[in-house]
């Protein structure tokens, strides 16, 4: 079910969120930071700063989208759902992106399950306000058209990867993308969460993670992961990582040209 207002721990403390002291917009979000200052100041009054926690479900497939989220330091996993229980990660949204922008294109219902992978803050705006501003701001339109196109291209590539590539290589790709989104070599991902994102059983994740650990590429204990050898992990990963990383052919850096 969608999170309640109470579970989100709303905070309007603009001083804590940080892009500019009185804005209420987290400094970490690259999309918002890329807007002209005048447009961003105009939008800022419509945002709430919210805290989201690991495991919170922000969207469920088929349910109405009530809010759009621009992550600051949190990370959100996008899961395709089959038969109500089987899942596969088709993307993730961090400081480089936005969750729910498809409402501006006429999609009022969520198409994926959006689950918080790392707790943190995000800027949240209501659907009606977002659509109204999208219709008026050319800068927002240009940015989000490029972003949604890139996100779709990445989702397609990940789907292909999930069908044709070995689990060990897919796990390496997933860990590298998570590292890039979080800008940290250390993060927490349980076997259960990785199984959901990779669309496999937990035993498969255990075997693949053990293989990477035996090669001294990562350490993995009780969900705590540290990448020890980034270059080695990239060598083990399939070519998909080269395509979807920030500077890749379908990387998010293309959004900010």
d(CA 29, CA 13): 17
**CA 252 to CA 142: how far, in whole Å?**
14
* pLDDT value at residue 84: 77
* Residue whose tokens read 């590292």: 179
**Sign of dihedral through CA atoms 242, 243, 246, 249?**
positive
Q: What does the pLDDT average to over 211-237?
A: 97
> What average pLDDT does range 186-191 have in this prediction?
94
- Does domain 5-159 fall under CATH 2.60.120.10? My reply is yes
Q: What percent of the chain has pLDDT over 90?
A: 85
Neighbours of 257 (CB within 10 A): 5
Per-residue pLDDT of 100-112, as tens digits, reads 999 998 999 999 9
Q: Torsion angle of alpha carbons 236, 238, 240, 246, nearest 10°?
A: 10
Whether pLDDT at 207 is above 80: yes
**How many C-beta atoms lie closer than 10 Å to residue 195's C-beta?**
17
User: Where residue 85 falls among pLDDT bands split at 50, 70, 90?
Assistant: confident
The tens digit of pLDDT for each residue in 152-177 reads 999 999 999 999 999 999 999 999 99
CA 110 to chain centroid:
15
Confidence of residue 179 (pLDDT cuts 50, 70, 90): very high
What architecture is the 166-237 domain classified under in CATH? Answer: Orthogonal Bundle (1.10)
Provide the residue ranges of all domains of the chain, joining segments of one domain with +: 5-159, 166-237
């Amino acid at each position: 079910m969608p999170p309640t207002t109470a579970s989100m721990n709303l905070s309007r403390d603009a001083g804590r969120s940080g892009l500019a002291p009185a804005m209420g917009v987290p400094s970490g979000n690259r999309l918002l930071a890329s807007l002209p200052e005048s447009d961003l100041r105009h939008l800022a009054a419509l945002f709430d700063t919210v805290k989201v926690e690991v495991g919170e479900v922000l969207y469920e497939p088929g349910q109405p989208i009530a809010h759009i989220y621009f992550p600051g330091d949190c990370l959100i996993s996008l899961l395709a759902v089959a038969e109500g229980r089987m899942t596969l990660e088709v993307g993730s949204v961090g400081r480089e992106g936005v969750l729910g922008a498809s409402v501006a294109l006429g999609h009022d219902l969520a198409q994926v399950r959006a689950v918080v992978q790392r707790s943190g803050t995000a800027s949240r705006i209501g659907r009606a306000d977002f659509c109204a501003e999208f219709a008026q701001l050319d800068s927002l339109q240009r940015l989000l058209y490029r972003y949604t196109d890139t996100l779709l291209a990445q989702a397609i590539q990940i789907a292909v990867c999930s069908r044709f590539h070995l689990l060990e290589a897919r796990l390496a790709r997933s860990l590298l993308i998570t590292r890039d989104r979080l800008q940290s070599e250390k993060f927490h991902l349980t076997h259960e969460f990785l199984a959901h994102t990779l669309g496999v059983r937990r035993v498969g994740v255990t075997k693949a993670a053990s293989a990477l650990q035996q090669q001294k590429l990562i350490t993995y204990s009780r969900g705590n992961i540290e990448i020890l050898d980034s270059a080695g992990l990239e060598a083990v990963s399939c070519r998909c990582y080269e395509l979807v990383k920030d500077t890749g052919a379908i990387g998010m850096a293309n959004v900010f040209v």
